[in-house]
Chains A and B, each alone.
Chain A
Amino acid sequence: MVKSMRRGRRTRQENPQKVSAIGPGMLGGRYRPLTRSDEKQIHQTILDVLENIGMGDPIPIVKEHALERGCFINDHGRLCFPRAFIEDAISSAPKNARLFGRDPKHDIDVGDNHVHNYGGGEAVNMLDVGASRYRPSTLDDLYDTARLVDRMDNIHALARLVVPTEIQDQLSCDINSAYVSAAGTLKHTQLTFADASHVQPTLEMLYMIAGGKEKFHERPFCNGGGCPVISPLRYGKDNSEVCVESIKFGAPIWVTVAPQAGATAPAALAGAVVQSVAEALAGMLMVHVVDPRTPVVLGPWPFVSDLRTGSFTGGSGEEAVVSAAAVQMINFYGLPSSVGAGMTDSKLPDYQAGYEKALAIALAAQAGCNDVSECSGMLGSLMALSLESMVIDNDLLGAVLRTVRGIEVNEETLSYDVIQQVVHGEGHYLRAQQTLDLMRTEYEYPAIADRMTPGEFEAAGSPDIRQQAGERVKSILSSHYPEYIEPAIDAKIRERFPILLKPENMRSGNSRW
C-alpha cells in the first residue's frame, strides 16, 4: 500500500501520544560511586549509628511501638534500633510501590532503579519571566507550576514547587496547595503538611475531587510525608506526626532528611552519606513500627556546606557525588529512593545553573534514583523558582534520561548489514530504512534548545535560551487552563473549604498571562 505523506502528517498530528526515545521509569543504576566494599562498610557504620547512638526525641506513638518490638532507650535517653531489627525491617519493607496519577498514563512505579523526575522544592520566591530580581511566591504561582508540570513530558510528578507565602494560616496554606495542584495537573502529587491535623481535612477535599473516599483510595493520586529528622539524628515532632498521619493516604510515605555536610553532618563525604542514609532509615523505621505495610520512599538528601560562609551549596560536585552515593545505598537495600538534584546556587537560569543542574541530575539519574526531586525550575540554592528554568530543565531532563537509556547493542543495532548496503549503495544513511525506523525512537529532540545554524540564529535575532523558554512559558500558561475539577464539585469544594484561588484566574483571558 502506498502511504501519502499527507496521511502521515495527519496521523502524527492527531495522535497525541508523542513518539519518543525516552519515558518515565527507565532503568538507572550504572553509575556507582561506591565500591561493593564501600557499600558494606557504610552499611555497617549505619547499623552502628542506629544501634548505639540512636535517635533523639521520638514521638510517643513511635517510641511505644518501637520499644514493644525490641528497640531500647540508651543511657543518653535516645531510641536505639538493634541491628537485627533494622535488617529485618529493611528486608520486610515494601520494595516497590505505585504512585498513581489521576490519568493512568501518569502512574509511576518506584523501586528497582526506575528513574523519575519530580517537580518540588518549596521555594519562597519566584523569578518572573525576564526578571532579574526575586519576589515572594504566591498561590497563583503554585497553580502555574502545576499547569506547567502538566505539560512537561520529562517531569513525571509534582510536589510543592513554591510556597504560597501570602497565606498566613497554615491549614489554609496546605489545603490550598493541594487544591491548586489538583486543579493544574493530572500527574501524581506529593503533598506537604505543616501539622498532622491538616492531613484529614485535606483528604476530605481530595475525596470530593476523586468522586468519593473509595474512589480516592483505589488510586490515591496524592501522598503525604515530610522531613521528620532534625540533623544530626534527632526526630522533629511536627513532621514525625505528619509522616505517621500520612499513612491515611494509603499511599507510599515520602521521608526526606537533609543533613548538611560540615554543619549538621560530618565534613567527610563518606560520613555525610552514613548519617543521611541512617537518618532516612530512621524515618522509615518510624513509619515501619506503626504500620509495616506502608511503603516508604527514602530520601537521604545529603546537603553540602560552603565552609567559607556556612551556607548550603546545592550545585557543587560534592553535592552531586554524595547524592548519587546515597541513592546507591538505598538501592543496596532495594528500597524506593529519592534525592534532591538540580539545586543550583545560581540565581538566574544561566550557564552556571545549567552545568550545576546537569551534573547533579545526571549522576542521580544514572545512580538509579526513583524520585529525582528539585530538578525542575529551582534556582538560588532552593530559594526561588523560575518557570523559564523549568522549561529549560525539561529539555535537560530529556537529555539525561536519554543517557540513562544508554545504548542497546545487538546484532541488528550493530548494523553490519546496513553499513555494507550503504557503502555499496548511496553512500549515506539518510534514506536508509534503519534511519527512517529509528529517527524518532533512537533520538530525543529538545523542545527549545538551540540547534540552529549561526546564520539562522542571527536571522532570528540571536535569541538566547531564556528568551525561547519565556515564550514557551507564556504560550502554555496563557492557554492551558485544564478543567481537572468538575465545576459542580468545584462549587461544593469552595463552599466547604477556604479556597483562595480566584475562579477567573483559572480561565484564559485573565490578566495574569
Chain B
Amino acid sequence: MTDQYEDKEIILSDLPDDELIDQMHDDLYDGMAKEIAEGTQILLDRGWSAQQVLTEALVGGMAVVGIDFRDGVLFVPEVLMAANAMKAGMAILKPMLSEAGSKPVGKMVIGTVKGDIHDIGKNLVGMMMEGAGFEVIDLGINIDADTYIEAIEEHQANILGMSALLTTTMPYMKVVIDRMVEKGIRDKYKVLVGGAPLNEEFGQAVGADAYCRDAATAVDAAKELLAAAS
C-alpha cells in the first residue's frame, strides 16, 4: 500500500504556477517561512506582479489558515508560525509594493494603553493582522493619547487598535477616542478595542467601532470595517 501523503522532496521551482500556489498555501499552513520566501521569489522571477503574489499566494493561503483557526483545527502557536511565514514573503514584496504605489490591505497602529504593560494579547493581534496582509505599526505598551494620535496621522493608518488587561486602565481608551473627536479626526479611522476585561458594551460605551474578543475577531472586524468604508 502506498501512502499518498508520503513526504517527497518537492522542488518548488519545478512546479507549474497553479501547483506552486497550492504548495505555497500548504507551506503557509505549515508555517514554513523559508519555503514561502523561495516561492515568492520564484513567482516574481516568472513575471508575476508583487500585488498578484500577495493576493493569490499569501493572502489566499492565510484565508485558509484563518478559517481553520476559527474552526478549532489550528491552534494559536500554529497560526503564529503561519503568520511568520507570511511575513517572510511580505519582506520580499513590501519594497516592490510601495514602489508600485499599491496599498496594503490596510494599515493598523496598535498599542497597549497608558498605565498598562501587558502586551501578549496585543502582540497576538499584531501578528494575526500581519498574517492577513495588514501593515502593523506596533507602538508597544503604556501608550498615551498623543502618541497614538501622532502615529495614526504620521503613518496614515486606517485602523487604531487599543488593548488593556487591567480594569484600571481600560477607561483610558475613552480618553484617546475623545481626544480624536476633539481634534476632529475620529471619523478618519476605525477604532478596535480588546483585552480580557472588556466586552461589547464597553466597546460601545467608549465609542469604538468594534470590540474584538480575540485576535481572529480583530482580523475579521478590520476587514469588514474597511470593506464597508470603501
Residues of A within 8 A of B (CB): 122, 124-125, 134, 136, 163, 165, 168, 170, 173, 194, 230, 236, 260, 262-264, 305, 307-312, 383
Contact = CB atoms under 8 A, between A and B. Distances in A.
Contacts of A310: 76, 121, 124, 214-215
B64 interface: no
Nearest to A165: B167
A125 B77 CA distance: 30
A383 B200 CA distance: 14
Contact of B168 (A125, A134, A170, A383): A170
18 contacts: A124-B167, A124-B197, A134-B199, A163-B167, A165-B167, A168-B171, A194-B168, A236-B117, A263-B120, A264-B120, A307-B75, A307-B77, A308-B75, A308-B76, A309-B214, A310-B121, A312-B196, A383-B196
B101 interface: no
Contacts of A136: 201-202
Contacts of A122: 167
B16 interface: no
B72 interface: yes
Which are the 3 A-B pairs with shortest beta-carbon distances?
A310-B76, A307-B75, A124-B197
Contacts of A264: 120
Contacts of B77: 262, 307
Interface SS, B side: loop
A163 B197 CA distance: 11
A230 B117 contact: yes
Contacts of A263: 120
A230 B112 CA distance: 14
Nearest to A267: B77
Nearest to B119: A230
A199 to B, nearest CB: 16
A109 to B, nearest CB: 32
Contacts of A262: 77
Interface in B71-92: 72, 75-77
Interface string B165-197: 001100100000000000000000000000011
Contacts of A170: 168
A509 B12 CA distance: 78
Nearest to B73: A308
Contacts of B171: 168
Nearest to B201: A136
B118 interface: yes
A138 B178 CA distance: 24
B76 A307 contact: yes
Interface of B: 72, 75-77, 117-118, 120-121, 124, 167-168, 171, 196-197, 199, 201-202, 214-215
Nearest to B72: A308
Contacts of A307: 75-77
Nearest to A260: B120
Contacts of A134: 199
A311 B75 contact: no
Contacts of A311: 196, 214
A312 B201 CA distance: 21
A136 B167 CA distance: 11
Nearest to A307: B75
Given A236-B117, A305-B76, A308-B76, 6 more contacts: A124-B197, A168-B171, A194-B168, A260-B120, A262-B77, A310-B214
A147 B46 CA distance: 74
B34 to A, nearest CB: 24
A17 to B, nearest CB: 39
Contacts of A173: 168
A309 B76 contact: yes
A163 B171 CA distance: 13
A266 to B, nearest CB: 13
Q: Identify the interface centre among A124, A168, A194, A236: most chain B CB within 10 Å of its CB.
A: A124
B175 to A, nearest CB: 10
Contacts of A165: 167
Contacts of B199: 125, 134
A460 B124 CA distance: 51
Q: Identify the interface centre among B168, B214, B215: most chain A CB within 10 Å of its CB.
A: B168
A46 B40 CA distance: 45
Contacts of A312: 196
Nearest to B168: A194
B57 to A, nearest CB: 26
Contacts of A125: 199
A124 B76 CA distance: 26
A230 B118 contact: yes
Contacts of B75: 307-308
Nearest to A305: B76
A309 B197 CA distance: 16
A230 B199 CA distance: 24
Contact of B197 (A194, A308, A383): A383
Nearest to B216: A309
A63 B167 CA distance: 29
Q: Identify the interface centre among A122, A264, A307, A309: most chain B CB within 10 Å of its CB.
A: A309
Q: Identify the interface centre among B197, B199, B215: most chain A CB within 10 Å of its CB.
A: B197
A498 B159 CA distance: 40
A254 B214 CA distance: 31
B219 to A, nearest CB: 13
Contacts of B117: 230, 236
B68 to A, nearest CB: 11
A262 to B, nearest CB: 8
B197 to A, nearest CB: 5
Contacts of B72: 308
Contacts of B120: 260, 263-264
Contacts of A260: 120
Contacts of B168: 170, 173, 194
Nearest to B76: A310
Contacts of B118: 230
